[in-house]
Amino acid sequence: MLGILIPYHSFFEFCPFQLRNIQHFVKVPHKILIVDDSDLDSSDLPSIAKDFNVAYWKIPPAQHNMFGNNPSARHQHAVNVGLHFLREMCSHILIFDNDMIFMKDFNPSLDRSLWYVPHTRGTLVYPWLNLFLFSTHEDIYEIHFNVCPLTGEGTDSGGSLSEILQQRKEDCHSITFEFSSDVYLLDWQKKYRQLCETYQIQPWYDIFHFQATSIFHFRGLSNWQNHPSEFLHAKKTLILEALNEFQNTYLPDTH
């Protein structure tokens, strides 16, 4: 069984669309776990999880203080909590960001391959911790930061996995991506770019491709870049409009 681990920190309105999308497009037996690491009002998430029959775990608010203002550390902790839950019941785990949707069917080969988006610090190559597929046969029980031994540069979350990628080179596959698409959500891309132009903000989203599927990633919804609140609200509104349209067109029987 495939475990799908989704840490949620913000933009909870996205969650019902995302769960409906996953349940439609993922074609292998799977179990979804939402790990709520938010210090915002996330009181709707438990009922959303119940409505979609998915597992839910809330990080105790007291643990948020352990990480200060480090969003990467909080996210990594949420992933580690989810790993402990899913490893016992799943043969594979897909870590999936909470602002992603599938655009095509996902029917992964559940073998010993690792699929990842490479990040680098110094000479270390490690997986981005927002889209990562691996087998629970791997010795991945807890994930940490790391430091490049040659340059002294610190990694982002997931850095401790660089050793596994080095040891298992023959089974590791890079997930490809592009920064725009001439196929998916064309109207949203146009409107979002117009919005960015109005606020003089660089557009930021991407589309990932692996194992015959494509994944649209809206990015930046926790607003760690501190964009104006009006911009973020407008971006979220455009996203929800696009999700409604996509759902009505491609998932008409899932309401």
Instruction: Map out the domains of the chain as residue ranges.
Output: 2-250
pLDDT number for residue 124: 96
When pLDDT is cut at 50, 70 and 90, the band that residue 67 belongs to is confident
Determine the distance from the C-alpha atom of residue 160 to the mean position of all C-alpha atoms in its chain, rounded to a whole number. Answer: 19
Q: Are 101 and 92 in contact (CB under 8 A)?
A: no
Instruction: Look at residue 28 and tell me whether its pLDDT is greater than 60.
Output: yes
pTM comes to 0.95
b/e sequence 10-43, b meaning 16+ C-beta within 10 Å = bbbebbebbbbbbbbbbeeebbbbbbbbbeeebe
Give burial (CB, 10 Å; 0-12/13-18/19+) of 184.
middle
Q: Which amino acid does the sequence have at 37? A: D
pLDDT number for residue 220: 81
Instruction: Please list, in sequence order, all residues whose beta carbon lies within 8 angstroms of the beta carbon of residue 240, skipping any fewer than 6 positions away.
Output: 13, 14, 17
pLDDT number for residue 254: 55
pLDDT tens, position by position, 188-221? 999 999 999 999 999 999 999 999 999 999 998 8
Instruction: Look at residue 229 and tell me whether its pLDDT is greater than 60.
Output: yes
pLDDT number for residue 71: 85
Under DSSP, is residue 27 helix (H, G, I), strand (E, B) or coil? Answer: coil
CATH number of 2-250: 3.90.550
